[in-house]
Structures are given as structure tokens and as C-alpha cells.
Amino acid sequence: MRTKLAINGGDPIRKIPYPIHSTKISVEEENAVIDVLREGHLSGFSAKVGERFLGGKKVREFEANLAEFFDVKHAITFNSATSALHSCIAAAKVGPGDEVITSPYTMSATAASIIMTNGIPVFSDIEDKTYGLDPESVRKKITPLTKAILTVNIFGHPSNLYELKQIADENNLLLIEDNSQAPNVKYKNTKCGKVGEMAVLSLNYHKAIQTGEGGVVITDNDHHAEFLRLIRNHSESTVSDFGREDITNLVGWNYRLTEIQAAIGIEQLKKLEDLSNIRFELASYLKNKLKQFNFITPPTIEENCGHGFYLFAMRFNASVAGISRNTFAKAVAAEGVSISEGYVKPIYLEPMFQKKIAYGNSGCPFKCPLYKGKLNYNEGSCPITERMHFSEILTTDICKFPNTKKDIDEFVEAIKKVIDNKDSISVQL
């Protein structure tokens, strides 16, 4: 076995880059795109009342298929999950002076969607096993200004959705799910995305299925569905024709999906089950392989839940390993395999929240005179989040197509090589 670590100048275990994550793009998608191109209608949308207000035939077919797949009344497509999130927050009637409780440990767009309505993100701490919103922390964050709870089914595992829904109902709040990382994942007796009033799915290139860029909102609420369709398609020019008297948050946007993207999505949706199974099987194989290491805790899967394994998030115990997380991660990465420290820096530590400036130079929306709350974006405000990110979590994206068990074996071999030769690392990086 090769014993000289790559970080010390030895040969790495893996010498070639990983293949592009393609989600099985094949002849079906190619033919679907060609059909659209030959028909010549690349977008079926028009910002006028009528059939075209709802998009072209491929958009409407894709939405119908999504609604059937997730067993919901409505599936509304968008040009990104970020615009879908923004529209959900707007549909929740969040505006200046309002607060939305959300996770600090997720992609920045989750919190930015709240800022986009001039609302205020309030960050609740996360659980230390599944990394979703901690219900007890959420309870403590609720104020008279709270309008909604935006939870994230992070890394592919469900949040504690039923308890969060109970908290939302008790306080007359909406529960919204950012389900970008957990499509087709089981939660108790339902699927992620069906507990909240609305849920967002992502279709960008590294998700379970993709259209390049794109997003979806699923909901059973007719009122929200109408609102979502309005806001994605220049609602200010059509709202009067729909006979709506409530025009709050109906400044319009162009958040429309193209016919080409929808055509790809129709074919990709047929592959979601298979692609989800590939991730789960690879993750299960990796979890079993990691049992030999007492310093790594693989992802938890709660009872009667599934996992989408958008990322494989492990907890690292430096005291047991006898090496710092930073040194371990750099040494393993030097062996040519995929590994990262943490996930993303807690959102409230980013400049926008530390400086409390989003629009212009006046501090809007944080210093808006309509906002009467008290902000706490201080370091230490979400201690579990900070401990997980800065001290314990390691992530890898190795459990996704087209990677195989051979790639998993290389990953595990790299860990073993580093830990067996940790004393040879001359400097703790």
C-alpha cells in the first residue's frame, strides 16, 4: 500500500478529475430539445390574460407531470429555485417590517429571498444530527413580527417537519419548505415538500434532476398557486384582468421557464427515481465502509425518513482522530478525492448581515423605520451551527451519478492512508 502521503509529495490515490455530474442526460433529452427547436416556439409565455399566460405546451405538460408525481394540486415552474423562493415569500405576504425565521446553514438564496421582499431573516439554530431547523430554537425566535417559517431540508434529509408545522399553526404562520436538496425523499407517511404550505424544488445542474437552471413550487393551496403564477409573469400588467383586489407584493417579475428547459425537465422527471436510488445506494455503501473509522459519524437517517444525499455530511471528531479537521481534510483532498470542511459559512456572518445593508446606502431593509424588531446577527447567536461548520462537519459529493463504488473505495482508501500515516505530516495545517 502506498504510505507516503500526497501532501508530503507522495503519489495521490486518484490522479484524474471526477466526471461532470450529468444526471443521465441522454438521447431522450436531446430529441425533446430538437422537437422544440423544430417547432420554433422557444417560449410560450405572454404577459396577457389567456392560455399563454400559463406558458407554452411543454411548460404546462411539465407542470402537470410534476403535480402528478408529487400528488399535489399545483406545480408552478420558475427560471430558478431562487426566484421560486422569492415568490413563495411574497405569496406569504412578507413585506417591510416583517420577519421570517429560517436556517443560517444553507445556500445564501434562502435568506436572500426574504430580503428580496424587504423582509427580515431571523436565524434559528439547527439540530446537530440532521442539521434542519431546531424546533425549540424556532419557538424562541417567534415575535409579533413573524410571518413565516422557511425551513431547509438540508443535505437531503427532512427537517422536523411535523413539529415545525405544529409551531407554525399554533402561531398562525406559514411553513415553507426549501426542498431543493431533498426531492423524492420520504418523510414519515408523506414526501418532503408536502407538509409546508408551499415547497421549492431546484432544477439547476448539480441537483438530483436538472434543466440547467430552473425551479418549481408545489402547493395544494389555490390562492398561493394563483399568486405564484402572477408574480412569475409581470403581474402588475395583468392583475386587474384577474379581478384581484389584493395586490400586495404583486410587483411583477419575469421568472418564466423556457420550452427547451421544460422539455428537458419532462424527460428528467422520468429519471428521478433512478437517480435518487443511485445516490442512496452509493451513500449506503459509503456508510458501511466508514464503520471502520471511530472518528467519523456518517449521516443520520431518522426513523421512517429517507435521505436524498445531495451531500454526504459527516461529523469529524478531532480528539479521537488525533489530527485536526483542517489537516485531515487537506491531506485527504491531496489524495485526489472529493472532501470539504463544513458546508457554507453561517449566513448571518456574511457582510450583508454584519453591515446590515442590502439596498442603497441607508441600511434598508434592516434599518427601515417600519421594522420594529431587534436584530441579532452576532457571532455565537447560533452555536450549534457554528460548531458544526467550523469544527465538525466534513462533506463530500461523491455519492452522485456518474460516480460508482470504485470512487467510494478510493475515497475510503484515502481516509485510511491519511489516518494511518498522520504522524508523518510535519505541519498541522
Strands 99-102 and 146-152: parallel
The total of other beta-carbon atoms located within 10 Å of residue 384's CB is 17
Distance, CA of 310 to chain centre: 9
The mean-pLDDT minimum among 203-207, 313-317, 386-390 falls in 203-207
- Residue 204, classified by CB atoms within 10 Å of its CB into exposed (0-12), middle (13-18) or buried (19+), is middle
Average pLDDT of the residues in 386-391:
98
CA distances for 368 relative to 123, 218, 345, 374, angstroms = 19, 32, 26, 12
The side-by-side arrangement of strands in the sheet containing 120-123 is 74-78, 215-219, 198-202, 174-178, 146-152, 99-102, 120-123
User: Cα(105)–Cα(98) distance, rounded to whole angstroms?
Assistant: 21
pLDDT, tens digit, 9 for 90 and up, residues 339-380: 999 999 999 999 999 999 999 988 999 999 999 999 999 999
| Helices and strands counted in the chain (H then E) | 14, 13
CB 312 within 8 A of CB 286: yes
CB 136 within 8 A of CB 160: no
Q: What are phi and psi of 425, to 5 degrees?
A: -75, 115
Q: Residue type at 160? A: N
User: Cα(306)–Cα(186) distance, rounded to whole angstroms?
Assistant: 5
Cell numbers linked to 162: 411535523
CA distances for 354 relative to 119, 170, 380, angstroms = 16, 32, 13
27-270: CATH architecture: 3-Layer(aba) Sandwich (3.40)
How confident is the model at residue 148, as a pLDDT?
98
User: Cα(124)–Cα(134) distance, rounded to whole angstroms?
Assistant: 7
Sign of the CA dihedral with 313 first, then 378, 325, and 317 last: negative
Q: What angle do CA 55, 61, 67 make, to 5 degrees?
A: 105
- Residue 153, classified by CB atoms within 10 Å of its CB into exposed (0-12), middle (13-18) or buried (19+), is buried
Give me Rg for the CA atoms of the chain.
Answer: 23
pLDDT, tens digit, 9 for 90 and up, residues 295-335: 999 999 999 999 999 999 999 999 999 999 999 999 999 99
How confident is the model at residue 238, as a pLDDT?
84
Global confidence as pTM: 0.95
pLDDT, tens digit, 9 for 90 and up, residues 130-145: 999 999 999 999 999 9
User: Cα(398)–Cα(348) distance, rounded to whole angstroms?
Assistant: 29
pLDDT, tens digit, 9 for 90 and up, residues 21-66: 778 999 999 999 999 999 999 999 999 888 899 999 999 999 999 9
The total of other beta-carbon atoms located within 10 Å of residue 119's CB is 26
pLDDT band at 422 (very low <50, low <70, confident <90, very high): very high
Q: What angle do CA 420, 422, 423 make, to 5 degrees?
A: 110
The position carrying cell 424546533 is 135
Distance, CA of 354 to chain centre: 23
User: Cα(298)–Cα(109) distance, rounded to whole angstroms?
Assistant: 27
How confident is the model at residue 427, as a pLDDT?
56
Average pLDDT of the residues in 117-141:
97
CB 92 within 8 A of CB 116: no
Helix residue spans in 181-324 (DSSP H): 222-231, 259-269, 272-289, 318-321
The position carrying cell 440532521 is 130
Average pLDDT of the residues in 81-92:
97
User: Cα(191)–Cα(404) distance, rounded to whole angstroms?
Assistant: 27
Q: Residue type at 63? A: E
CA proximity to 229, closest of 240, 243, 239: 239
Report DSSP letters for 118-169, one per residue: T-EEEEPPB-SSS-SB-HHHHHHH--TTEEEEEEE-GGG----HHHHHHHHH
pLDDT band at 1 (very low <50, low <70, confident <90, very high): low
